[in-house]
Structures are given as structure tokens and as C-alpha cells.
Chains A and B, each alone.
Chain A
Amino acid sequence: MAIENANWIAELDANYPAAGEMVSEGDDHIRQDKRVLKNTFQNFGVGAPVTVTPAQINNIPNLAPKASPAFTGVPIAPAAGTGNGSLQLATMQDVQNVVANASLGGMGLPSPSGNANKFLGTLDGTNYGFFSLRDCLHVQDQKANGAGTGAASAGQNFRTINTTLENSIQGASVASDEVTLPAGTYDVTGWAAGGTGNYRISLYNTADSAYVASCMGLKGSSNGFGVFAGRFTIAAQKTFKVVQDSAVIASNGFGAPASVSTIEVYLSVIFRRLPS
């Protein structure tokens, strides 16, 4: 008789053994069948039964491969969670959490707090910062309607600075009639009312005892004023005052009231810091 020499299921002949074959060849068939099963299902039945159904096995060709799978439908996955920097796949839930918790600080950008009306940008191509197109300090000497200014002395008179109209320069401030400015380059324009007698109005660097900008010498009258303008650079924080050098003592020597039912303004100075 013939016994097929099979090692794999496909090589088995379903017609063997034929009827009437010798019983003594039965053990040969049984060993061959066991060899075929063990060769074909080498890892089956080791420690656990195989429970998948034929349908599940038949669906294997439809499953996505591990390498570069192209999913269809609506694939889902466990959420990676916040603060997860692993190679785990992110879900839309993770994306939403990241967006909801996103902040400028988280992206390495400065906080917008305290930077109203400023623009985020870079001047050095390396660092981000907030900048104002009008870094400005505007100060005045204001008084109530009809209020005068008192007497000016002969010599150096420091003018009153008691009002800030605008201050968008970080680090700039006013106290005791003195303006404090941080390092930078500034354009300054200002005017101050004077009195009778000759006088000159100037911006004075009190830290360095130096005149920064002055008006021309004025032959005073009761309604005169001096205007000064200039540009200066300070490498570190400095303090400034507006000084009036007067030749004579004069009442209302820093300006006489207009008394026209509005406030009196006797001095106004605008500092504009140029972009560095």
C-alpha cells in the first residue's frame, strides 16, 4: 500500500489509508498524522488552549500590520494623560487637555500680566519680550483752577512735578518732584511756565549734576514759558528734575494762574524711550 510521506497538513491525502489496507500499517499513519500536526501547529497547546474561532482566524488578513498601520473607521486608544512625554500615542482627549492648559509661559514666552497695550515680539532675534510702540512717561505740574505757583528764588529752582498722565516705561516713576528713568535712550520735550525776570528752563540730571536739555534764555514776563527738547542716553537708572535758573526773585515765578475754570498746568514734560 502507499503511505504518503507528509510533514504538513496540505500534504496529507484524505483517501489514505484506503479500505483493505493492512492493519500493521496503522501505526505508521498515526505517527505521520502526529508529525503533521506538531509541524503545522508548533506553538499551539503549550500552556494554554487555543480559543479563537475560525471566523477570528479567518479575519487575521484584515487586521492592520504593526508596521505603518493605516487604520480606518474610528480607532481609539487609551488617553496618554497630562505630563506624559513617552512615545505613547496621543488621543484627541490629550490634545484638548494640552490646548486647554496651554499658556505663553508654557511655550517659553513671557507672561502677558502687566503688559496691557503692548506687543509681543523680539528685538534681538533670540528672546521674546513685550514692547510698546509708545514707551512714554508724561508728567506735569497741575494745580486747581486759580492756584498760583509761589515765589521763585534767584538761582536754581527745582520745579514741581506732581502728576503722571501716562507711564508705559517699566521702571519709570516720579516722587519728590524727581523723575526716575531706567537705562535707555530717550527723546524729551517739555515746557514750563516762568515769571517775571530772566530765566531758563532745563532738564537736569540730578544723579550726575548735569544739564540734559535747556531752552534759550528768556526775558521773563507774567505769561512766559520756556520749551526744551533733546535726546540723551543713560546706561543705568538716573534721576531727573526740571530746573529753572532765575535771575531775580519773582512772585508766581513758575507761572501765573489762568483762572479760566479749568485746571492750571505749569509744566509738562514727555519722555519717549526709543527701542533699543
Chain B
Amino acid sequence: MKYVTFNPGTRELTGAYIQPLRAEHANFLEVSDEEHANWVNLRMNAELTGTEPVEPVDAGEDS
């Protein structure tokens, strides 16, 4: 299955996987191919039932 994992407190997605569900991934959402491919630009919606676009983050400081 294709799924993403998320932090229910922040609604941030933390990973995207193609595999049978792992026990470590208690907070997960099965997603479409498109969602899986673009997971870094998505977050969970307020109801934690689906994903929604997230605003791009500011560029990090190069060291």
C-alpha cells in the first residue's frame, strides 16, 4: 500500500512509503500516487482525514 505518516499534533507529514503498513506507523493515511509523489508539499487537513497543500517553506540557510 502507498501511505504517508504524519504528526497528529502538527499535521505535518513525516514520510511516504510503499509497503505493508508497519507497526511503527500508527498515524498513517493511505494516499494516491499523486499525493505520494508530492507528499513533502502536503499536510493533513484539520480533520486528519485527508491531505491539503502546504505553503512552501522559506529557504534554509546554507552553511
Residues of chain A touching chain B, judged by Cβ–Cβ distance below 8 Å, are 142-149, 162-167, 172-176, 195-196, 222, 250-253, 256-257, 259, 261, 263-264
Tell me whether A144 and B40 are in contact in the complex, defined as CB-CB below 8 angstroms, given that A175-B24, A196-B63, A252-B60 are known contacts. Answer: yes
The chain B residue with its CB closest to the CB of A145 is: B56
Residues of B within 8 A of A (CB): 14-20, 22, 24-25, 39-41, 54, 56-63
Identify 5 new A-B residue pairs, CB closer than 8 A, beyond the known A146-B56, A196-B63, A263-B41.
Answer: A145-B56, A145-B57, A146-B57, A167-B18, A174-B17
A257 near B39: Cβ-Cβ < 8 Å: no
Measured between alpha carbons, how far is A253 from B50 in the docked complex, in Å? 33
In Å, the complex CA distance between A103 and B19 comes to 27
**Complex contacts, B19 vs chain A, CB 8 Å:** 164, 167, 172-174
Checking B16, B20, B24 against A176 with a beta-carbon cut-off of 8 angstroms, the contacting residue is B24
Cross-interface CB contact of B62 among A142, A145, A257, cutoff 8 Å: A257
Partner of A144, one of B24, B25, B41: B41
**Contact at B40–A175, with CB atoms within 8 Å?**
no
List, in ascending order, chain B residues with CB within 8 A of A176's CB: 24
CB pair B59–A164 under 8 Å, yes or no, is: no
Complex Cα distance, B61 from A251, in Å, reads: 9
30 residue pairs A–B, Cβ–Cβ below 8 Å: A142-B16, A142-B40, A143-B40, A144-B54, A146-B56, A146-B57, A146-B58, A146-B59, A146-B60, A147-B40, A149-B60, A162-B15, A163-B17, A164-B17, A164-B18, A164-B19, A167-B19, A172-B19, A173-B19, A173-B22, A174-B15, A174-B19, A175-B24, A176-B24, A195-B63, A252-B61, A252-B62, A256-B63, A257-B59, A264-B40
**How many angstroms from the CA of A249 to the CA of B20 in the assembled complex?**
37
Interface of A is mostly: loop
Give the A-B pair count, Cβ closer than 8 A: 78
B16 touches A163 (CB 8 A): yes
Give Cα A251–Cα B14 distance, bound, in whole angstroms: 21
When distances are taken between beta carbons in the complex, the residues of chain B under 8 Å from A251 are 61, 63
Within the complex, the shortest CB–CB distance from A157 to chain B, in Å, comes to 15
Q: Please, how many angstroms separate the alpha-carbon atoms of A142 and B17 in the complex?
A: 12
List the B side residues contacting A252 at CB < 8 Å. 60-63
Q: Write out the residue numbers on chain A whose beta carbons fall within 8 Å of the beta carbon of B62.
A: 222, 252, 256-257
Q: How long is the Cα–Cα vector from A145 to B54 in the complex, in angstroms?
A: 11
A205 to chain B, nearest CB (A): 19
Within 8 Å by CB of B20, from A146, A173, A195, lies A173
Min Cβ gap B4→A in Å is: 10
Measured between alpha carbons, how far is A180 from B63 in the docked complex, in Å? 33
- A206 to B62 alpha-carbon distance, docked (Å): 31
| Bound form: Cα–Cα A263–B63 in Å | 19
